[in-house]
Amino acid sequence: MTQANYLWAPAPVHSLPVRGSDVRLPVRRIFCVGRNYYAHAVEMGRPVDKATMSPFYFLKDASALVDSGATVPYPTGTSNYHFEMELVVAIGKPGFRVDEANAHELIYGYGAGLDMTRRDLQLIAREQGRPWDLGKNFEKSAVCTEIVPAVGAEVLNVGAIKLQVNGVTKQSADLSMLIWNVREIIADLSKFYHLEPGDLIYTGTPEGVGAVKPGDHISGHVDGVGDIVLTIGQAE
Ligand code: MN
């Protein structure tokens, strides 16, 4: 077979460590759920009524991934750089139009993630009816721990999710407070996309989001998954 020649080296495969394994999980797409905890939707000024509303999504490039433990520079173009602590689901099998009852079959494992956000740019886009990319999909904005393989048909539906900045608690909630739980999100997302191994789903953040500045140290935790840390460096 002839090997293709490229003008320059193709972009690297972005990947995450897997707990208890030497191999890494290659990441394909990063889906993020918007407004998936009631109190966070309220603090963003956009309450959610599950009876009449559907979940919505935005994406981040896999190239935005950063391993837990990193120091990231304060991003350009913002003066309101926010943390959002989230449960991350790693998809391990393909699925399209999946039933909630079978959704667990797609799950490879879980991570703890930070959906870092240029909140000022996101809100400008929101108010002007523009895409959220400048606020959400930027370099080093998707922080994630190693992936913890799921056991059997287990689906994470309960457990503490919390975040501290410089040792002060900012977010403290429970996965049971997700508006659309993991099964519901996988079933709904698979109506719109053919889910594939390596797809990640950031499931949304609880209330208490806020700004960080250079020198701040973020530490987060999801029960049954693990701890995430991120240090904010000086602006580039
Ligand atoms: Mn988020």
Residue 1 confidence class, pLDDT cut points 50, 70, 90: low
The domain 15-233 belongs to what CATH superfamily? Answer: Fumarylacetoacetase-like, C-terminal domain (3.90.850.10)
Ligand 1 midpoint to CA 215 (Å): 22
Strands 30-34 and 200-202: parallel
Ligand 1 midpoint to CA 149 (Å): 22
pLDDT (tens digit, 9 = 90+) per residue, 32-82?
999 999 999 999 999 999 999 999 999 999 999 999 999 999 999 999 999
DSSP bridge pairs for 112: 87
Comparison of pLDDT for 152 and 167, the residue scoring more: 167
Domains of the chain, residue spans:
15-233
Q: How many CA atoms lie within 13 A of 143 on its CB side?
A: 25
- Among residues 166, 63, 169, 76, which one has the least CA distance to residue 118? 76
Ligand 1 midpoint to CA 43 (Å): 13
DSSP bridge pairs for 230: 218
- Among residues 87, 93, 83, 47, which one has the least CA distance to residue 182? 87
State the pLDDT at residue 3: 78
Alpha helices in the chain (DSSP H): 38-43, 119-128, 133-136, 182-189
Ligand 1 midpoint to CA 16 (Å): 19
Take residue 95 and report the two structure tokens written for it: 């699925």
State the pLDDT at residue 152: 77
Ligand 1 midpoint to CA 120 (Å): 14
Q: How many CA atoms lie within 13 A of 142 on its CB side?
A: 29
Residue-averaged pLDDT of the chain: 96
What phi, psi does 115 have (nearest 5°)? Answer: -95, 85
Helix (H, G, I), strand (E, B) or coil at 107: strand
